[in-house]
Amino acid sequence: MATGRIKATGFFNDPVMRKLWSQAIWIGPSPGQIDPEKEVDAAVKRINNGFSTHERETAELTGMDWDSNIDVLTREWEARRIVLD
């Protein structure tokens, strides 16, 4: 932001805007998994114990968006229901 590469209106002169800009959570690409079963089990435990969210775990494990996954899964399950009925 200081170099001008990222335009963050109000970041330097408005404390409210700075706080809003600073609340983002940046998650880089998923590093891959050494033991996917254990990592998924650990993610489920973090979610179930309130240490994490579905959204965060989806992003960290796969780099995908949880909301998009839910939309696709809903369509897939509906299609399966229609076919299997």
Give domain status of residue 26, yes or no: no
Mean pLDDT (whole number) for 19-33: 78
Give domain status of residue 37, yes or no: yes
Decide if pLDDT at 7 tops 90. Answer: no
| Residue ranges making up the domain that contains 40 | 33-84
Decide if pLDDT at 30 tops 70. Answer: yes
% of the chain residues with pLDDT over 70: 99
DSSP 41: H
Instruction: For residues 72 and 65, give the distance between their C-alpha atoms in angstroms, rounded to a whole number.
Output: 11
Give domain status of residue 67, yes or no: yes
Q: pLDDT digits over 36-45, tens only?
A: 999 999 999 9
Give domain status of residue 3, yes or no: no
Give domain status of residue 43, yes or no: yes
Give domain status of residue 42, yes or no: yes
How many structural domains is the chain composed of?
1
Give domain status of residue 73, yes or no: yes
Which value, to the nearest 10 degrees, does the dihedral of the CA atoms of residues 61, 65, 70, 76 take? -80
Give domain status of residue 25, yes or no: no
CB distance 34 to 12 below 8 Å: no
Residue 67 vs residue 23, higher pLDDT: 67
pLDDT band with cut points at 50, 70 and 90 for residue 52 = very high
